[in-house]
Amino acid sequence: MRHYGIAQECIPCVLKQCLSTARFAQLEEGQTARILAVARQAIEDSKVKPLLVQHVVRQVADAVIQERGESPEFDIYAEVKQRSNALSLAHVPMFQKMLACSPEPIEMGLHLAAAGNIIDFGVKPHDDIDLEHEIRNLDQTSFARYDIRPFRQALHKASNLLYICDNSGEIVFDRLFLEELMRQFPRLRITAALRARPIINDATLEDARAVGLDRLVRTISSGSVYPGTILDETTTEFQTLFAEADVILSKGQGNFETLHPLADERLFFLLRIKCDYMANLASVVKGGLVLIQGSPLPSGRCPDSSRTPPPQPTVD
């Protein structure tokens, strides 16, 4: 018998994020109460229906848009997304210097792309993140799990890579990493997939154009309207690319939550572990960066100590 229901550990975070969205959208008290009621009802519905956290977040976003009387494509976080993109772009010269000086630019690029995953308003309210501080200190967090050996092996054999993006701002560091991949693997065909509609601060095709990602690699909409990738609810084009990809790099916690159950060895998850629930799922300490190859993770498994951590960034 199949059991439904959103994990109890996730419910407080979901409600907090919903409240943050309502306040950020400048809803009145009565409107905010209705938004929280939508979230609580969706959580209750998840006990008897196959609903995920991502479904709840989408329902709440749509309810907020409706309360404001906006069109379905309205971007609640448009201003803060533009700011995070601009701040990240302003630091590109510094990170390009770090990459140029690194003896292992691919691993340095991985580190920057993973560390950039802190720019996530689905976990922290926008006013709880000091973007300038976080961007300047991307080198201060190490990898708690680092499946670099199978990732390199997969890249050497691959003809095409599907790169599933996560947040705005963060995609600037994805671009830097992809530039390094293209230098070392010039024959690798890369497609970057982004969200179909604005949701929290997740990156869309508009964000990809804003940071120049579309001028570097092929960019497509995955069809996902969620802060994650629910494969059955993506476009036929994306599903075909997913099926045909030799390597799939998935960024961020939402994509990890939704794609990890596939247990696909072509998948590599690159993110920062931001909560206890995800830390338990990945068998690592909260707060660390991870590069995890997709495969079942037995409960209680510890990171393989034979995996060598990446070189630490330095700036002269």
pTM metric for this prediction: 0.89
Same domain, 127 and 271: yes
Same domain, 53 and 186: no
Would residue 172 count as lying in a domain?
yes
Same domain, 36 and 134: no
Closest to 217 (Cα-Cα) out of 188, 245, 246: 188
Would residue 40 count as lying in a domain?
yes
Q: What angle do CA 65, 68, 74 make, to 5 degrees?
A: 45
Confidence category of residue 280, pLDDT binned at 50, 70, 90: confident
Same domain, 52 and 199: no
Same domain, 191 and 117: yes
Same domain, 42 and 141: no
Residue that finishes a domain, picked among 41, 68, 95: 68
Taking the C-alpha atoms of residue 158 and residue 188, their distance in angstroms, rounded to an integer, is 7
Same domain, 28 and 138: no
Same domain, 126 and 218: yes
Same domain, 181 and 219: yes
pLDDT, position 316: 35
Same domain, 37 and 104: no
Same domain, 173 and 126: yes
Domain that holds residue 141: 83-293
Closest to 262 (Cα-Cα) out of 292, 294, 297, 229: 294
Would residue 300 count as lying in a domain?
no
| Helix H or strand E segment including 179 | helix 170-184
Taking the C-alpha atoms of residue 225 and residue 29, their distance in angstroms, rounded to an integer, is 27
Number of domains making up the chain: 2
pLDDT digits (tens, 9 = 90+) for 33-85: 999 999 999 999 999 999 999 999 999 999 999 999 999 999 999 998 999 89
Residue that finishes a domain, picked among 68, 96, 118: 68
Confidence category of residue 139, pLDDT binned at 50, 70, 90: low
Q: What is the mean pLDDT of the chain?
A: 87
Taking the C-alpha atoms of residue 183 and residue 105, their distance in angstroms, rounded to an integer, is 10
% of the chain exceeding 70 in pLDDT: 85
Q: Long-range contact list for 150-155, CB < 8 A, 24+ apart?
A: 150/265, 150/268, 150/293, 151/247, 151/268, 151/291, 151/293, 152/106, 154/246, 154/247, 154/266, 154/268, 155/181, 155/185, 155/188, 155/247
Same domain, 39 and 159: no
Residue that finishes a domain, picked among 45, 68, 91: 68
The one-character DSSP state at 233 is: G
Confidence category of residue 117, pLDDT binned at 50, 70, 90: confident
Would residue 242 count as lying in a domain?
yes
pLDDT, position 132: 62
Residue whose structure tokens are 């680092």 = 146
pLDDT digits (tens, 9 = 90+) for 146-202: 999 999 999 999 999 999 999 999 999 999 999 999 999 999 999 999 999 999 999
* CATH at 234: 3.40.50.10880
